A and B are shown apart, each in its own frame.
Chain A
Amino acid sequence: MSETGVIHDIGYQRYTGPRLGRGAGIGALYVHGLRAAFGLGRSAKAKIFPWLVAGIALLVAVIIAAIKSQFPEITFSYVDLDNQLSFMIIFFSAILAPTLVSRDLRSNTLPLYFSRPLRAADYVAAKFLAMVTAVWLLLGVPQFIMFLGAAFTTKTGMKGVWHEVQDLVPAWGYSLLWALLFAGIGLLIASLTGKQAFAAGGIVAVFLMTTPVVAVLAQLPSSAANHMAGLASPITLINGVGSYLLGSKIGLDIGRYGPIFVIEAFCLIAACLLLLLARYRKVSAL
């Protein structure tokens, strides 16, 4: 029992070492986001779904590489892989976006982040880049496996390899477009709710419900409406941009409206990012 109120000096000290600035904060958030995307550093349960999707994508690439090396007449380009995996990409972004942003809302970590030098824009940029990288890896690595398969079995030596490289690089760009668009829309939806379950359901609902709209618009008795039907859904929007810029047929007749597809894709990504910034301008502690 102390008889008088004495404040003891128990040796608390100020931190006097070097302080890392915003750049380090963004870097740390980015690395953490990318690791969390694939469940690294988290429980085994968190690894199931991301690696299920990644495993299927890798398996498909290996199978296609094997088939193509045996039967060279089969035409399955790098771009086709992205289109065939579109359902897996929807599912992957439904897993990813809630893990990246909804968990921070639910566990109230945002006020802690923003009490650092980190700004809202930095947070959004780090999360967006992490998700873009993750989705791009999901598509780019299988494409690279297909490339390896084609490069090692080519019959025309270095010329054949160079030919494959010329096919691969635009396809990587196409995958980047998928990643940018899906990351933007996915993060925007997920940032509205702290419940991972609702965020995942909302993302899938948005991507799935826009697809039949395209099929319906393609039936309308107007050729302009038919050519621009693809604008209604993110997936067909990407297909349209791809067939305009890469000049390949991706199963969608866009007529002479190619530039509109490019403009809409750009505006959509920009709008998602701006809305995300607006969303994080003010965060409540609870």
Chain B
Amino acid sequence: MSTVAMITARGLFGRRRALMLVPLPLLLIGLAALCKSFDVEPTNWGQPVIEGLGFAVVLPVIALIVGTGVLGSEIDDGTLVHILTKPLPRRDIILAKYLVAAVVTAITTMIPLYVVGLLAGSAELAAALAVAAIVGSFAYTALFVLLSLLTRRPVLLGLVYILIWEGLLGRWVSGTRVLSIEQYVITIADKIEPTTILTGQVSVTTAAVMSAVFVIVSTIVAINRLGSFSLAGETS
């Protein structure tokens, strides 16, 4: 299992691919620092930076790149065969890859959000944002790892979820927020350290329970799918 994790981490960080993870967090910190240096009130810039950029773009996009990358790129390259033919339970393969993806996403999103939290207010707010980012990372990557097993176009389907479900419907149709990880993350951050910057739209119990449901159900379904995984040619 540790070998699978190591191969996955090397696949993520090897070559230039890891550079794709750098600009988004840097932009997040840079914007917060810019506002801080102009002495703008955090209540004014907190919402667009933390919610609009941090939780609505940086967290899901990084989770999408990493989450679909750990399995999807191996399916694309055909190197997944080598791991599947080893005498390893499929459960261990999924768990190892999922943990690597979730931890990498958590680290890359937690650090910039912590810094932004410090700039926007207190260490408590920073810690709240970091915890929320970790929860979000685990939920998002679980979903995107599953998507890379369900379909040959996981990134497009993930973008449908981020852009259309969370971005468009989540804004207009309030009922869809119950199934939106972005709203869980905002609610959790708001609950740990209540500020005027963030307003949770769902109840905190819903947020906590649904995040756990996303993680557990996605992982179980993913293990099931990999159990009966068939290798086919690339789609046109």
Contact = CB atoms under 8 A, between A and B. Distances in A.
Contact of B45 (A90, A198, A200, A219): A219
A119 interface: no
Given A197-B155, A212-B48, 7 more contacts: A45-B236, A195-B76, A197-B72, A201-B155, A209-B27, A219-B45, A220-B34
Contact of A90 (B35, B56, B156, B163): B163
Interface string B39-63: 1100011001100110011100100
A95 interface: yes
A200 B58 CA distance: 15
Interface string A180-211: 00000000000000011110111011001101
Given A212-B31, A216-B48, A204 B159 contact: yes
Nearest to A85: B168
Nearest to A84: B168
Q: Which of A43, A202, A205 has the most C-beta atoms of chain B within 10 angstroms of its own C-beta?
A: A205
B35 A204 contact: no
B20 A198 contact: yes
Contact of A219 (B44, B162, B235): B44
A94 B64 CA distance: 14
A204 B160 CA distance: 11
Interface residues of B, number: 40
Interface string A42-69: 1101100100100000000000000000
Contacts of A213: 27, 31, 53
Contacts of B27: 209, 213
B24 A205 contact: yes
Interface of A: 42-43, 45-46, 49, 52, 87, 90-91, 94-95, 195-198, 200-202, 204-205, 208-209, 211-213, 215-216, 219-221
Contacts of B200: none
Closest 8 CB pairs of A and B: A215-B48, A212-B53, A197-B155, A212-B52, A208-B57, A43-B236, A219-B44, A212-B48
A208 B153 CA distance: 20
A216 B116 CA distance: 14
A42 B236 contact: yes
Interface in B215-236: 235-236
Contacts of B31: 212-213, 216
A46 B235 contact: yes
Contacts of A42: 236
A45 B73 CA distance: 19
Contacts of A198: 17, 20, 65, 155
Q: Which of A195, A209, A212 has the most C-beta atoms of chain B within 10 angstroms of its own C-beta?
A: A212
Nearest to A206: B23
B103 interface: no
B40 A201 contact: no
B117 to A, nearest CB: 16
A182 to B, nearest CB: 14
B132 to A, nearest CB: 17
Contacts of A49: 153, 156, 160
